[in-house]
Chains A and B, each alone.
Chain A
Amino acid sequence: MRKITEAAQFADTYDIAIIGAGPAGMSAAIEAAQAGASVLLVDENTSPGGQIYRAVTRHSPDDDDFLGADYWKGRTIAEPFLAAPIDYACSTTVWSLDPAAEPSAKATLGLTLAGAARRVEARIVIIATGAMERPMPVPGWTLPGVMTAGAAQIALKSISAVPDGPTVLAGCGPLLYLLASQLLKAGTEIVAVLDTSDAGQRLKALPHLPAFLGSPYLAKGLRLLVDVRRQTRVVSGIAELTINGDTRAQSVTIRTGQGSETLAVQTVLLHQGVIPSINLASSAGCTIRWNEDQRAFEPETDPLGRLSVPGLFAAGDGAGIGGADHAAIEGRIAAVGALLDLGLVEQPEAETRLTPLKQQRRRYRRGRAFLDILYRPAKQFLSPPDDATIICRCEEVKAGQLRQVIDLGVPGPNQLKTFIRCGMGPCQGRLCASTVTEIMAERRGVSPAEIGTYRLRAPIKPVRLSELAALPQTEDAVFAVTGRRPEPVSNPKGPNQ
């Protein structure tokens, strides 16, 4: 592995560029490098692992065992990844992905590393950007003291820290219970787990139960449920949840069939499942489809992970939620697909490699629909009924304002965005897109598939003007802007190279 620490160290072009160093990205990189492809992996974090195996190479299992064997397993991917013959750029932001203009051309990535931008070409790009937590907009969710459950887990993994003082976890999904179990083991004072799952989903999930009985996740899931219920209070059937406080979260008020109750807290951890991060694929013009089981948009892929735009692949949770083990398999499948398209492996050889991988992928997908449907968030947490609830955290747009503008007949989320700036802040709609679609779908009485989601364009992460200005320019580009040919220089790429 060659670690890239400055923008000038990037090669101009690679066979395969992979975005994201989680299980999918790392596995794809190992597979592709083994076959002799030149590989670049870029990742936003400071060390490999993605979110699921965050900082897994920074500590060792003897330091603490709050995280469990499933976390430390990440080392079996991270270690061969760090030993593979690839270029690895950590702390690097990808802000654009331009697909190849014609079949023989290459895709171009816009990157920023250590305050300098570069454009790097690749014959194939594999997007392995993983998932983000589905926003859970409730009154008070912008107050200090409120974080996502995933954030608390990242703190545990990366700096071995836990929430201080009385804590509640609220929401639904397997991760909520996993985190509760890990935090309890680490000595966090968990006042209650507030399970907001919709009880009505149990019946709907039932037909998928037989398939789930064969899932490798079954035993772990049951163990977690029992473990958490034994150690702390679990409240289910929550119809309303409000976080109270002026300058920070001080209490949580819940309403169930049994009445209302207020719990004093210092930390509130919210979580209602994860959804694919689609920004990069979407901005590159890839077809995005609605997945009703997972209640989320995802990029459309073929069985090898090819996106609708030639030369681009997606693998792992960023292509549809399947979990870490599934993502690692998908990364390898996408790498084989990429090698095949590059002509670096022949069809029969590719088939030999793909057969066992596809078999494993099927195993990890078994029973997924059961979990997806069982843990579908309740309606009131997808589309908050209280008009004062903030939906767009950046521009502070509230649910009531959205409904008002929707009722005026605004055609879709994109027009809504231009009317009231919802989704136009620095997070670029990441924390409001799914809620905006849900509110609009509910208001119109149609499926979110019909509403669609924000159209995304590069730069998909904020990039500084000074970084852009320092990009090496071609002679033609300089002429187009200034009307003058630049002075000839010894280095054809300009002074910044």
Chain B
Amino acid sequence: MLRRLREVTDPVTFSFDGCPVTAERGDTLAAALLAGGIDTIRHSVVGDQPRAPYCLMGVCFECLVTVDGVQNRQSCLMEVRDGMVVASQRGGRQVLQGNR
């Protein structure tokens, strides 16, 4: 988990598994989750083990979440937006669920 050194001055609010999280506009989603006190953001596909963002630079794919219904988004590569609906992932992906 991360601790912010500066107050949030231009807040945006999104939800993670239904709970509201506040972040600074322009933050990446993965960093905003960690700074919001959330580190387990998914359970691994094979062993169902808790996982958290690991590299924050687009390499490891540990930070995959479902964003606004689209599965497997790399949260470290996207900016937070007001009203974003973020959900953790557990188990394997399904072809139809949540895909548009």
Contact = CB atoms under 8 A, between A and B. Distances in A.
Do chains A and B interact in one complex? yes
B26 A46 contact: yes
Contacts of A148: 54-56
B1 A427 contact: no
Given A142-B49, A143-B50, A148-B54, A431 B59 contact: yes
Contacts of B28: 46, 158-159
A397 B31 CA distance: 27
Contact of A63 (B6, B34, B59): B6
Given A44-B77, A159-B31, A147 B57 contact: no
B53 A427 contact: no
Given A161-B4, A161-B34, A426-B61, A147 B54 contact: yes
B50 A248 contact: yes
A163 B62 CA distance: 18
Interface in B47-100: 47, 49-62, 64, 72, 77-79, 99
Interface stretch (A149-157, A299-307, A410-418): A149-157
B31 A144 contact: no
Interface in B10-66: 24, 26-28, 31-32, 34-35, 39-40, 44-47, 49-62, 64
Contact of B1 (A158, A267, A431, A466): A267
Nearest to B26: A58
> Which of B1, B6, B64 counts the most A-chain CB atoms under 10 A from its CB?
B1
Interface in A119-162: 132-133, 142-148, 150-151, 154-155, 158-162
> Which of B24, B46, B78 counts the most A-chain CB atoms under 10 A from its CB?
B46
Interface residues of A, number: 49
Contact of A64 (B6, B26, B58): B6
Contacts of B79: 46, 91
Given A144-B40, A147-B54, A426-B64, A155 B77 contact: no
Contact of A161 (B3, B57, B99): B3
Contact of B5 (A150, A154, A160, A431): A160
Interface residues of B, number: 40
Contacts of B47: 396
Contacts of A51: 57
Interface string A52-78: 000000100001101000000000000
B44 to A, nearest CB: 6
A93 B73 CA distance: 12
A191 interface: no
B77 to A, nearest CB: 6
Contact of A91 (B26, B72, B77): B77
A36 interface: no
Interface of A: 44-46, 51, 58, 63-64, 66, 91, 93, 132-133, 142-148, 150-151, 154-155, 158-165, 186-187, 247-248, 266-267, 277, 393-396, 425-427, 430-431, 462, 466
30 contacts: A44-B77, A66-B5, A93-B77, A132-B59, A133-B59, A142-B51, A145-B1, A146-B52, A146-B54, A147-B52, A147-B53, A150-B57, A151-B55, A151-B56, A154-B56, A155-B2, A155-B56, A159-B4, A160-B5, A161-B2, A162-B2, A163-B2, A165-B1, A186-B5, A266-B1, A393-B60, A396-B44, A427-B60, A430-B59, A466-B99
